[in-house]
């Protein structure tokens, strides 16, 4: 049971003390707006001089010693303004063990794509505003969690270049801009700059990139993997038609050669890394390949049935790739393997990837009577650990299966290192009684899935799930096409947000980061954190900001950090290099002795210490 009777320093008082204490120094931001759970930072300076009070012939006796206070404010004060949708929450009787869901709230568009931004806001896109039919993503909705769900919480950024980013990929650049790649405009990518409310078009790809994956390499360069001509979902039926044996895939309809992006010079083919086994039409391997940077700097990936590693720097920068093996031989109504692009996976710890659900090659039928699609497969509940350790050769271990079989679900690593699975459907892309509304959380230490409370809406194909700085999880989208078309969103509140006190459940008392030494860190440097109270911290971790679509979230990873504690102060060591944490943006969280996480504070990580 979580203790509720701890002696706390009121947050408001602590923040007031921090704002008036000596901090010194301007934080060297790298051109990107950063926020800790939303809001703006305050850079503190020396307190103004105050004339001493005149002496008195009858001085007042000294007061007894005051309780210990926290007056060690660092350079940057964190805005800990609470989210309206969290502070007014009335917990359910079992929220401390099952979590709980918000009621559905209206959303301006179908959130087929969702990305956490460095300023604490969330970009979603996928359809025109208010439209549940058009597959066209020519604008971005930007939501501010600190503004709640009411009027003024959303803004719209138009794409003046008319690039259609429906079914695209995305990654955050070190500049803080969101690189959005491919989609219905198969040869185009754009940079979304929320600070300037602008969208800039980039040079074109060499190959078409609908349904592709993009992620940042250890040196910060984005690499794009897979994809093809738009609406090419039946390539698996006649795969030989799509391969002419050439490295350049312009006429193939499927992109089997990766490309890397260098800002200012555009996209460059890695002609040494062409691979039909990793990105080909067979079993729709080109559909959103699952991929992560490994500790050796290579890229490890899962493509439907195969797993592989790619060296982007081999052969004089032309790259190389090796298919390491076949995970499962193909979909099956007997063994129900967790393969295919209908599965979901996440790097929940360094070098550890959990692959869940699936058993399908495409979005398939929307119902038993929908004959527009013929791919009707029963979903998998299986969960598998790919442990790539310090390299990119995996050890594969079967883990406890999920409680519910799922296709087109999402898995999300939480601040405490556990993995949330939500949404999906037990058969193809059906809704109704085959949809899975119950969430569940996997605990790696116990290898157990704990069933959570259920959502109100069906979230299947084209749904999204995104960790917020508050520790809650945004879920949205679903449909276009599908058994639903959801112009709404829901928030899942994990159990760690609650505690039980004398039989009743309330919002948990959580550690709070009041100030920090810098927002922009280099590899191997130290970050100092000021906490709101002198309480033992059990862990500090960073989590990559998520960007999710089609059950694929390549940006998210969780990395525990080494730290020392001196009462209210922590000194945290940043990762040594970009292979551990690729350049970009992360939420730093601290967890107390009972594993309760603070709100996340967003930091940038890039470069080497000078």
Q: For 412-471, what is each residue's pLDDT tens digit?
A: 999 999 999 999 999 999 999 999 999 999 999 999 999 999 999 999 999 999 999 999
Q: Is the pLDDT of residue 54 over 90?
A: no
- Write out the E strands in 75-128: 76-77, 100-101, 105-106, 113-116, 122-125
Q: Convert 319-338 to b/e letters by CB count within 10 Å (16 or more is b).
A: bbbbbbeebbebbeeeebbb
Q: pLDDT (tens digit, 9 = 90+) per residue, 13-33?
A: 343 334 433 333 333 334 455
pLDDT at 351 over 60: yes
Q: What is the 3-state secondary structure (H, E, C) of 464-483?
A: EEEECCCCCEEEEECECCCC
Q: How far apart are CA 473 and CA 489, in angstroms?
A: 11
pLDDT at 221: 96
The reported pLDDT for the residue numbered 252 is 80
Summarize pLDDT for 457-515 with one digit per residue, the tens: 999 999 999 999 999 999 999 999 989 999 999 999 999 999 999 999 999 999 999 99
Percent of the chain at pLDDT exceeding 70? 87
With H, G, I as helix, E, B as strand and everything else as coil, classify residue 455.
coil
Q: Is 15 helix (H, G, I), strand (E, B) or coil?
A: helix
Q: Strand ranges (DSSP E) for 394-512? A: 395-399, 407-413, 419-425, 438-443, 448-454, 463-467, 473-477, 488-493, 498-501, 504-507
- Return all residues near 454 (Cβ < 8 A) that are at least 6 apart: 101, 437, 438, 439
Asked whether residue 373 carries a pLDDT value surpassing 90, the answer given is no
Residues 427 and 411: beta-carbon distance below 8 Å:
no
**Could you tell me if 318 and 330 are in contact, meaning their C-beta atoms sit under 8 angstroms apart?**
no
Categorize the per-residue pLDDT at 37 as very low, low, confident or very high, splitting at 50, 70 and 90: very low
pLDDT at 372: 65
- Which whole number is the average pLDDT over 26-54? 42
Instruction: Check residue 608 and give its pLDDT.
Output: 67
The whole-chain average pLDDT of the chain stands at 89
- pLDDT reported for residue 368: 79
Alpha-carbon gap, residue 577 to 554, rounded angstroms: 18
| pLDDT tens digits, one per residue of 517-568 | 999 999 999 999 999 999 999 999 999 999 999 999 999 999 999 999 999 9
**What confidence category does residue 40 fall into, taking pLDDT thresholds of 50, 70 and 90?**
very low
255 or 64, higher pLDDT: 255
Q: Helix, strand, coil: what percent of the chain each, to 5?
A: 10, 35, 55
For the chain, how many residues are written? 610
pLDDT surpassing 80 at residue 336: yes
Alpha-carbon distances, residue 289 vs 239, 276, 302, 307, 343 (angstroms)? 17, 12, 6, 10, 11
Are 308 and 277 contacting, i.e. CB atoms less than 8 angstroms apart? Answer: yes
**Each residue's pLDDT tens digit, 262-309:** 877 899 999 999 999 999 999 999 999 999 999 999 999 999 999 999
DSSP string for 324-366 = EEESSSS--TTT--S-STTSEEEEEETTEEEEE----SS---S
170 token code pair:
């995305």
Per-residue pLDDT at 577 = 96
Which of 259, 209, 236 lies closest to 339 in space, CA to CA? 236
Distance in angstroms (rounded) separating the CA atoms of residues 189 and 191: 7
pLDDT band at 35 (very low <50, low <70, confident <90, very high): low
| DSSP assigned state of 276 | H
Reduced to 3 states (helix: H, G, I; strand: E, B; else coil), residue 495 is: helix
What is the arithmetic mean of pLDDT over 182-198?
Answer: 95
- Tell me the two tokens of residue 121: 């806001």
- pLDDT value for 247: 65
Beta bridge partners of residue 565, listed in sequence order: 570
Residue 49: pLDDT over 90: no
User: What pLDDT was estimated at residue 53?
Assistant: 38
Residue entry with tokens 């738009």: 230
Least confident of 43-52, 83-92, 452-461: 43-52
* Structure confidence at residue 371 (pLDDT): 65
pTM metric for this prediction: 0.89
């Amino acid at each position: 049971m979580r203790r509720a009777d701890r002696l706390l320093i009121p947050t408001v008082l602590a923040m007031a003390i921090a704002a008036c204490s000596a901090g010194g120094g301007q934080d060297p931001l790298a051109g990107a707006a950063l926020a800790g759970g939303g809001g703006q930072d305050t850079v503190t300076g020396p307190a103004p001089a105050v004339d001493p009070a005149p002496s008195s012939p009858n001085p007042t006796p000294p007061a007894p010693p005051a309780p210990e206070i926290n007056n060690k404010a660092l350079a940057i004060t964190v805005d800990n303004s609470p989210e309206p949708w969290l502070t007014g929450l009335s917990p359910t009787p079992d929220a401390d063990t099952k979590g709980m869901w918000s009621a559905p709230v209206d959303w301006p568009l179908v959130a087929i794509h969702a990305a956490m931004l460095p300023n604490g806001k969330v970009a979603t896109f996928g359809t025109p505003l208010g439209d549940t039919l058009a597959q066209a993503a020519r604008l971005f909705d930007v939501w501010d969690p600190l503004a709640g769900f009411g009027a003024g919480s959303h803004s719209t950024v138009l794409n003046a270049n008319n690039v259609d980013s429906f079914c695209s990929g995305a990654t955050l650049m070190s500049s803080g801009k969101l690189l959005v790649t491919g989609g219905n405009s198969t040869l185009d990518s754009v940079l979304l700059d929320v600070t300037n409310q602008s969208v800039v078009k980039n040079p074109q790809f060499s190959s078409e990139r609908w349904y592709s994956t993009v992620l940042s390499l250890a040196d910060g360069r984005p690499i794009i993997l897979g994809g093809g001509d738009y609406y090419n979902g039946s390539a698996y039926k006649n795969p030989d038609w799509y391969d002419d044996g050439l490295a350049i895939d312009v006429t193939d309809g499927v992109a089997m050669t990766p490309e890397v992006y260098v800002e200012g010079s555009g996209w460059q083919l890695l002609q040494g890394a062409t691979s039909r086994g990793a990105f080909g039409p067979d079993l729709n391997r080109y559909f959103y390949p699952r991929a992560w940077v490994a500790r050796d700097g290579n890229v490890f990936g899962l493509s439907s049935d195969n797993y592989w590693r790619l060296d982007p720097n081999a052969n004089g920068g032309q790259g190389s790739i090796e298919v390491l093996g076949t995970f499962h031989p193909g979909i099956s109504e007997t063994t129900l393997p967790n393969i295919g692009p209908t599965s979901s996976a996440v790097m929940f710890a360094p070098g550890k990837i959990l692959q869940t659900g699936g058993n399908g090659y495409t979005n398939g039928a929307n119902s038993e009577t929908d004959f527009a699609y013929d791919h009707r497969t029963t979903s998998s509940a299986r969960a598998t650990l790919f442990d790539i350790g310090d390299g990119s050769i995996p050890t594969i271990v079967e883990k406890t299966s999920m409680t519910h079989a799922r296709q087109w679900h999402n898995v999300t690593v939480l601040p405490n290192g556990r993995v949330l699975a939500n949404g999906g459907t037990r058969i193809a892309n059906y809704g109704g009684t085959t949809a899975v509304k119950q969430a569940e959380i996997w605990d790696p230490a116990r290898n157990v899935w704990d069933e959570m409370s259920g959502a109100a809406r069906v979230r299947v194909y084209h749904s999204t799930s995104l960790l917020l700085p508050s520790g809650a999880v945004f879920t949205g989208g679903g449909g276009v096409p599908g058994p639903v078309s959801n112009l709404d969103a829901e928030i899942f509140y994990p159990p760690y947000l609650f505690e039980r006190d004398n039989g009743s459940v309330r919002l948990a008392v959580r550690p709070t980061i009041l100030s920090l030494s810098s927002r922009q860190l280099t590899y191997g440097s130290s970050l100092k954190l000021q906490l709101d109270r002198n309480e033992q911290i059990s862990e500090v971790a960073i989590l990559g900001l998520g960007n999710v679509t089609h059950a694929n979230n390549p940006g998210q990873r969780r990395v525990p950090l080494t730290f020392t504690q001196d009462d209210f102060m922590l000194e945290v060591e940043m990762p040594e290099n970009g292979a551990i944490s690729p350049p970009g943006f992360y939420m730093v969280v601290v967890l107390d002795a009972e594993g309760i996480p603070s709100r996340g504070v967003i930091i940038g990580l890039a470069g080497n210490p000078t």
